């Protein structure tokens, strides 16, 4: 969502509070929720933290993470959410589970809570482009569009061929009135994924803002050809063509 994407400069204001003590605060919150009973042999918070870190090292990612992925792939979101919560409660430094929980909540429209969990994910998984992309989606839904733009840019700086992040960046840039940047980002998404219907559709909308109507119609038509049941493309195409007929 090339130099027009403003690749990561290494400074993101929304990351200012993500200092090196964040994992310690996660452990503190976890201990506050779970209480001393889980580790009766641990007489102090410090000993409890050491016990948790030992658990983290012994955590078998494969079994529970595969089960979590299976539930998500089966669209069994309530069960997936419960399992993700269980994993994050038991293993508070497991970034993938925080990411999964945040993504599930985002899909269910619980954006504010999703943002909290996705924030934990990007701290624990600083090289996870998808986590930054989903974090950007949550920010955008909450109206924090400039922060969302930076999050998408950071996702791209991690993974340059991430078509969805280029697409999302292009959409938020259009919403911010950055039409040339939006055009370039959406073009880049299409170069990576030529059959990306939403990218063609949104590029069409951006081209309308740039008063490049013929190109806009072409891209929206491509979106309809790729995805005949696209929920918005046919309506947009009809509106544009009706306005052309009147003109």
State residue 32's pLDDT score.
41
Asked whether this chain's domains 1-159 and 162-247 adopt the same fold, the reply is: yes
What's residue 242's pLDDT?
87
pLDDT, position 165: 97
CATH 1.25.40.10 fits 1-159, yes or no: yes
> Domain spans of the chain?
1-159, 162-247
Mapped onto helix, strand or coil, the DSSP state of residue 2 is coil
Rounded average pLDDT per 10-residue block, the chain, 247 residues: 30 32 45 44 48 48 82 92 91 88 94 95 92 96 97 97 97 98 98 97 97 96 96 91 77
Q: CATH fold of 162-247, please?
A: 1.25.40
DSSP 10: S
* CB crowding 145-167: b at 16 or more within 10 Å, else e: bebbbbbbbbbbbbeeebbbbbb
Q: What is the pLDDT of residue 62?
A: 66
């Amino acid at each position: 969502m090339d130099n027009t994407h403003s690749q990561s400069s290494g400074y993101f204001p929304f990351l200012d509070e993500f200092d090196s003590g964040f994992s310690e605060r996660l452990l503190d919150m976890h201990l506050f929720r779970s209480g001393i009973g889980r580790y009766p042999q641990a007489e102090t918070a410090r000993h409890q933290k050491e016990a948790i870190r030992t658990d983290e090292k012994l955590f078998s990612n494969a079994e529970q993470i595969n089960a979590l992925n299976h539930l998500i792939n089966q669209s069994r979101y309530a069960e997936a959410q419960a399992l993700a919560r269980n994993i994050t409660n038991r293993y508070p430094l497991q970034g993938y589970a925080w990411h999964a929980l945040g993504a599930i909540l985002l899909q269910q429209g619980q954006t504010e809570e999703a943002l909290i969990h996705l924030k934990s994910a990007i701290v624990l998984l600083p090289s996870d482009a998808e986590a930054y992309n989903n974090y950007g989606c949550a920010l955008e839904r909450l109206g924090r569009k400039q922060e969302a733009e930076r999050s998408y840019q950071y996702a791209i700086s991690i993974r340059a061929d991430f078509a969805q992040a280029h697409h999302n960046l292009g959409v938020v840039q259009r919403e911010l009135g950055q039409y040339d940047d939006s055009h370039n980002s959406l073009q880049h998404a299409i170069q990576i994924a030529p059959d990306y219907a939403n990218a063609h559709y949104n590029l069409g909308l951006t081209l309308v803002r740039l008063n490049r109507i013929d190109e806009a119609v072409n891209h929206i038509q491509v979106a309809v050809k790729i995805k005949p049941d696209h929920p918005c493309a046919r309506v947009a195409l009809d509106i544009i063509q009706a306005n052309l007929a009147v003109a």
